[in-house]
Copies of this chain bind each other. A is one copy, B any other.
Amino acid sequence: MAKQYVYLFSEGNAKMKNVLGGKGANLAEMTAIGLPVPQGFTISTPACTRYYEDGKTIGEDILSQIYAALAKTEEIAGKKFGDLNNPFLVSVRSGARASMPGMMDTILNLGLNDVAVVGLANLTNNERFAYDSYRRFIQMFSDVVMEIEKKHFEAVLDEIKEAKGVQFDKDLSADDLKELVKKYKALYLKEKGTEFPQDPKVQLLESIKAVFRSWDNPRAIYYRRMNDIPGDWGTAVNVQSMVFGNMGDDSGTGVAFTRSPSTGEKKLYGEYLFNAQGEDVVAGIRTPQPIEKLSEAMPAVYDEFVKVANTLESHYHDMQDMEFTIERGKLFMLQTRNGKRTAAAALKIAIDLVDEGMLTEEEALLKVEPKQLDALLHPAFDPKAIKAARAIAQGLPASPGAASGSVYFTAKDAVVAAKSGKKVLLVRRETTPEDIEGMDLSQGILTQQGGMTSHAAVVARGMGRCAVVGCGALKINQDEKTVTVGGETYKEGDVLSIDGSTGAVYAGAIDTAEAAVAGDFARFMGWADKVRKLKVRANADTPKDAAQAVKFGAEGIGLTRTEHMFFEKDRIAAVRQMILSDSEAQRREALAKILPMQRGDFEGIYKEMGERPVTIRYLDPPLHEFLPQHDQVEEIEKLAQELGVSAESVVAKIEALHEFNPMMGHRGVRLPITYPEIAEMQTRAVIEAALNVRRETGLNIKPEIMIPLVGEVKELQFVKKVVLATIEKIFEERGEKVDYLIGTMIEIPRAALTADEIAKEAEFFSFGTNDLTQMTFGFSRDDAGRFLESYYTNKIFESDPFARLDRAGVGQLVRMAADKGRQTRPDIKLGICGEHGGDPSSIEFCHIVGLQYVSCSPFRVPIARLAAAQAAINNR
């Protein structure tokens, strides 16, 4: 039997998401449980994959399945394509496995042609409606499917409005619209060289292909990358009988959530517009009515909708985000899905659903996207600073958090500014899917139009980016790049602040205060902690970071970068003196100055961490990083003076230390091999600090000494010998001992390949996946920006390997090293301390290969705790 590529809604169910896409599967499920769904069929995601495999054509077998499904749907609807009396009209919408709102294309009113429009007029007894629908369809089809620029149509529309002396579209008469249709068709002929297709089947096939193509448009690619959605999934296409919310004042359309997507409050939450088509609500062009108002306007429809909403939530065990249309007083469900929500809402809903007995604790853990927690953890405005701040406008609190930034008025400008290092606030009349990268790179988003379910609001919440929307007081001048509010004008680059939790907009920058982690949060994280196998540590270089990490639940420090301390103002002079030394004796003299400072740092960190393990990485970067740049003349002269040498000799040393590829140069373990006295000093600082803190506090401090950049066991052997000799000496001097471990980072491919040998010397491995990714790919992180954009555009990469661990390559090395390490030393401690330690997909991989812990920045600790729990649940 031929493979099935096309499914009637009545043939599917919610479990078939991979084949039908999310939208298709849920339409089928709603059909199955008897909800009022306009019928139709879904062209499956494998059909999309086939489309690309077949060189962007639809195979004959799929075509005939489409026609068969179409015929059955016509039969169900009792209508026919292009029929003069009872014309069949459909919407064509994308629907991938994962929700990608607004990323791909939609075509409404398909099936209209010169005949069907008459049929529609007759059927609805509304000629104006019919021709309005027709002209909208021609424009949408021309724009979305045939790629004729929208502006041409807008120009024609403006022309006719001027000629007729009317201001708004709605004031055009049926005849005016008929004339407009004619002009649109002429425009189409001029642009494409062929007549506007009158055959609805042709319209349909072209539209299906357009949706398939839109799977690979740049904004969809960007969205997938941001959300870890594989490019080979493809999208399904849903062809659904049209219902009309714009058939008059007894019709309407709306979207609603079963609980508040902002706070999680258990209350129907949504908006609707009378006499409007679906896209009008989410496009944010008209400001809609809150859903409660529907109970007054159409109580029966409202009651039915409430019932449907409850049914759906109970059915899916999750908060639902629904689209509906009311056609002449009759309710139709166009879509339902698990609703996107803020972090706070996600937490509250998860906990409420457990308390309501709808979910188990483990199921609840899977309902919260770990990355979302970020929003809960990020600073809000400092309450004191807020009092002093000047509020200039009020919008809708669309996505919580607080942000200050320089205003930019196009996504493109925002991207450029953000990439140049600026904190950016994106200010738009309304956002569109094209803006997605600019939104992602901004601190916050501020829009003039649109509601809580507008594009800006939905996308910002998904990103965890703070947003204020629908702030009507703003007057944006796109050309001059200014925004005027309350009589004052702010130009590009001026700083504003927004509070996404209150909707307030302030002039100037405002200090932020730390996130306050609430009780709900602790309860939820408690569930995660019960389930997860991975320990979670933090990367922390200072006592302050360490304290923050403990607050967020870190169980130790996985990485203290000792060099971060070297850069501090009061010690850089001694560090530079060390680097510029000509002899070991001089170097030792400089190191002697650094020792007490470094020891003090470690004492501070140990005190914060108590008896939790603390991993201290020895000096890693190339020494020239600590020297002034070549052209920093003043700095060089100051340094020369401090050291009592000539500026020339400082310059000469800087030149001598120059490296062609510093990332692969004289750094890491290579430093103590040439200058063992550096390792001696650092060992003294680590061990003496531990002894001091134990004496002072009675706490049993257990430092873990980590040697970076090892690629060959003999490197580690050499430095370990230096470290051990120093420790023995300290123990003898002090007459007391302390426990410690000596281990290494695995961040050089050769270390992974020879991990069995390295484990003979190392008591622990910590995977430094930043460097390991660089070396495994041969990419310099600092330079890859130059070409990675082309990689995404050409679908060579789907995600940034520095953000999400590459399982096929880097992951293979991690797994190999873990296996080889355990083979030599079954009880070897294994962890990860690269950026990936805070990324959920990477954390899942760490769980799968059996690492003991991940280590990430303090703010990511809760994310890691949740991701680790989800990994444990999903990989049983």
Contact = CB atoms under 8 A, between A and B. Distances in A.
A749 B809 contact: yes
Contacts of A673: 787, 790-791, 794, 796
Interface stretch (A247-255, A659-667, A735-743): A659-667
A21 interface: no
Contact of A778 (B748, B786, B797): B748
A711 interface: yes
B661 A664 contact: yes
A783 interface: yes
Contacts of A749: 749, 775-776, 778, 809, 813
Given A662-B661, A664-B663, A754-B809, A709 B670 contact: no
Interface stretch (A7-15, A94-102, A538-546, A712-720): A712-720
A709, A749, A778, A809, most chain B CB atoms within 10 A: A778
Contacts of A806: 750
A282 to B, nearest CB: 34
Given A674-B787, A718-B796, A711 B809 contact: yes
Nearest to A786: B666
Interface in A764-813: 771, 774-780, 782-784, 786-787, 790-791, 794-797, 806, 808-810, 812-813
Nearest to A657: B786
A872 interface: no
Given A661-B782, A714-B796, A774-B664, A787 B670 contact: yes
Contact of A808 (B659, B666, B754): B754
A473 interface: no
A617 to B, nearest CB: 16
A24 to B, nearest CB: 29
A670 to B, nearest CB: 5
Interface residues on A, range: 35 or more
Contacts of A771: 778
A113 B674 CA distance: 44
Contacts of A714: 794-797
A393 interface: no
A711 B813 CA distance: 14
Contacts of A664: 661, 663-664, 774, 778-780, 783
Contact of A750 (B659, B754, B776, B795): B776
Identify which of A753, A780, A812 gathers the most chain B CB atoms within 10 Å of its CB: A753
Contact of A662 (B783, B791, B795): B783
B661 A663 contact: yes
B663 A718 contact: no
A783 B622 CA distance: 11
Contact of A712 (B712, B750, B797, B813): B797
23 contacts: A659-B780, A661-B662, A661-B663, A661-B782, A662-B780, A662-B783, A663-B778, A665-B783, A665-B786, A666-B786, A666-B787, A673-B796, A711-B777, A712-B777, A712-B796, A714-B796, A714-B797, A747-B778, A748-B777, A749-B776, A750-B809, A771-B778, A775-B778
Given A665-B786, A749-B749, A750-B808, 7 more contacts: A659-B782, A660-B663, A661-B663, A662-B780, A674-B787, A714-B796, A749-B775
